[in-house]
Structure formats: C-alpha cells, structure tokens
Chains A and B, each alone.
Chain A
C-alpha cells in the first residue's frame, strides 16, 4: 500500500508519514498540491493521499477537485487533514470528493482510525500503543 502525504509543513509531513508507516504503508511526501499532481503523474496513483487544505501554489481543496476529475485516480482514497474545522468547510471538502476529514491537531489514533474507516485493507502489522 502506498500513501502520499501532502502538507506544506515539513514537521507535519514527517509525523503523518511515520504514523502511516507504522500501520504498513510505504509513504511519499510533497509540500503542495501542484507537486502532488506532478508526483502522481510520474509515479501513478496511490492508495491513500493525506491532503492539507492550506498550502501555497495549489491548495488541498483544488487538488481534490482536480484528482476527482481524473478517472485514472478514481480508486484513490483522499483524507483531508487540516486546521479548518467549520462544518461548512467540511461539507465543501466532502462534496468535492474527500473521503474523510481529520482536524488538526490530531493524534496517531485519529489517523489510524480514519484509515480503518476508509476500509483500506492493510497486511496485519503490530500497532503501537497498549490495550484500552
């Protein structure tokens, strides 16, 4: 399983990548929506993209609209991860084609649970963190 992490904060990219790696994804990361489109054109679709909203050059919402207009990317699951927390914003993102939405700040379980909700079948990997 491949995941692309798209966020203009290098620290956020590193944190998100590590969480995804722990549950078994191979991760790649880029700093804005335009770079993400280029990456996808070069490397083909990924199973999951984590998409920040506010980024320079091409923002996350525009990125999602472009991806959803391209049938080659139809199977990609898109998880928005953003500081935007208004219901109206969430509805906009879902209507544009985001499959899920997580608000910053997040914890590792937030991201893991969103991946579960998306129904992405990962090979069984031990998950960090204890019982209850």
Chain B
C-alpha cells in the first residue's frame, strides 16, 4: 500500500460524513461525495500540524467537543481562497468608467460611499478597490467619507489580508505593473502594500451563513466567487439578507460563474460591455 492509499483507507464513511456535516454546518460549504479527496488532501496537514498521526485521530479529537479552535482550523482548511488582483478585469473597468461615476453623482449631497467586500480571501479584492479609488477618484477619497469593509469567514485569510504582504506570484497576477511599483514596497521575497492603502480597508470576521453583525448601508457589494460553494437554499438566504444591506440603487457584484437568475428574482441584471452586476428591483 502506498502512503496515500494508507491515508485514504484511514477515513471511514462515518468519518467522512462527520467532516462534511461539520464543514457544511459551519460554513455552508458543500463538499459532495466525489470531492472526498479534497478532505483528505487538505486535512492531512491540519492533522499533522496538530500532532495527530492520522485523519481518524483528528476526527476522534474533533468529536470530543462540539466546537473549538481545531474545528475552526478544519473549516478554514476547506475554504478555497483562490483570488487575484483585479480578478476578471472587466467588472473593474466598468465600475471605474460607468457605475462609480454614476454613484458619485447620486451621492454628491451625502458625500458618503460604502463598499463591502464579503469573502475577501487574502485581500486582493479590497486592495484592488482601494487602488482604483485612490488613483482614479483621489478627490473623493480625500474629501468624502469612503469606507471599504472587507470580511471573510477564515481567520487565517483575514490575518493575511490585514498584513497586506504578497508573494511574487500573487503580485504577478492581475496587478498592472505601474500599480505594483506605485503602491508596493519589496520586502525580501514579499511585496508589502503601502500603509495609505492598508488604512483604507476595515477587516472583520463575518460568516455569511447565520446572523450577520451590523453592516451599514452599502453602495457596492462584492460577493464574488463564494455563493458558488453553497446550495440553493443557502444562496437564497444570503441574497435575501443582502437586500437589507444594499442600497436600492446600489450594485451587487458576483463572480463570473454566479448569478441571481433562478435564485432570487428580486434582482435585475445590469450588463455593460463584458461586465455584469445586479441591482434590487
């Protein structure tokens, strides 16, 4: 038997069900049966780091309590954190050229703009927004009340976001070189985002599933590439709650593979060029 076979043989069907349920209960992330390998490949390092010789041992330990730091680590390890600066580019272009100028005009009396990055992963998305605002709308950033609230379920991702330190591969991805040289400093093999941008973003823990803490009324809500992990009722529950937070003329930005169509008909789709956003009807 090879090492991987030994590990796979490790998890009994009951263990697998237990892990899937734990992850689903905590994060709403659905890991279907065909993705069992994901549990093994992502949880083996968690087991090892926490002094357990096998996944069976890890599960046995988890079963002793209902919740605890180890439960959080397991859920954390199962989140997919794939992201990049200016991901998919088109929504950012249209945001800059069409949606933001329109919102700025509408908000000229209040002089307030609020952005919410729900599921910000390692921070590339809120920092992309901060760069766009600082470079393209400097007078707004300097004289209006502009807030960027960035949240995620994962404590590890929030820590990385707040640090604003990226590897060479991460800054290579999606970030225009002129913005890299302008907004980052090299620090050994890492790239550190400048403090003026870091200071623009408020990072907080927030689980999209369950009750949300207070979130102010939002003009642009980024909820990209996270609904995709949830089942239909969870998507519906989240979109429903979100309507209480998003201003009636605000924009909801989803991932390219996501939509409100056939999920919640109380949103309308707004398409400009190659970008799509959603607004409450």
Within residues 146 to 186 of chain B, which ones have a CB less than 8 A from any CB in chain A?
168-169, 172-174, 176-178, 180-181, 184-186
User: Are the CB atoms of A94 and B257 closer together than 8 Å?
Assistant: no
User: Are the CB atoms of A90 and B173 closer together than 8 Å?
Assistant: no
In the complex, whether B32 has a CB less than 8 A from a CB of chain A is no
User: Are the CB atoms of A85 and B257 closer together than 8 Å?
Assistant: no
CB distance from A119 to the nearest CB of B (A): 9
CB distance from B34 to the nearest CB of A (A): 14
CB distance from B172 to the nearest CB of A (A): 5
User: Are the CB atoms of A103 and B173 closer together than 8 Å?
Assistant: no
How many residues of chain A have a CB within 8 Å of chain B?
Answer: 21
- The main secondary structure of chain A at its interface with chain B is mixed
Chain A positions within 8 Å of B169 at CB level: 105-107, 110
Assembly CA distance A100 to B255 (angstroms)? 25
Chain B positions within 8 Å of A117 at CB level: 86, 89, 174, 176
Assembly CA distance A54 to B174 (angstroms)? 24
User: Are the CB atoms of A113 and B177 closer together than 8 Å?
Assistant: no
Assembly CA distance A98 to B174 (angstroms)? 16
Chain A positions within 8 Å of B228 at CB level: 131-132
Assembly CA distance A17 to B225 (angstroms)? 30
Chain B positions within 8 Å of A132 at CB level: 80, 82, 225, 228, 255, 257
In the complex, whether A42 has a CB less than 8 A from a CB of chain B is no
User: Are the CB atoms of B174 and A94 closer together than 8 Å?
Assistant: no
Selected contact of A94 from candidates B172, B181, B186, B225, CB within 8 Å? B181
Name the CB-closest residue of A to B177. Answer: A101
Assembly CA distance A83 to B255 (angstroms)? 32
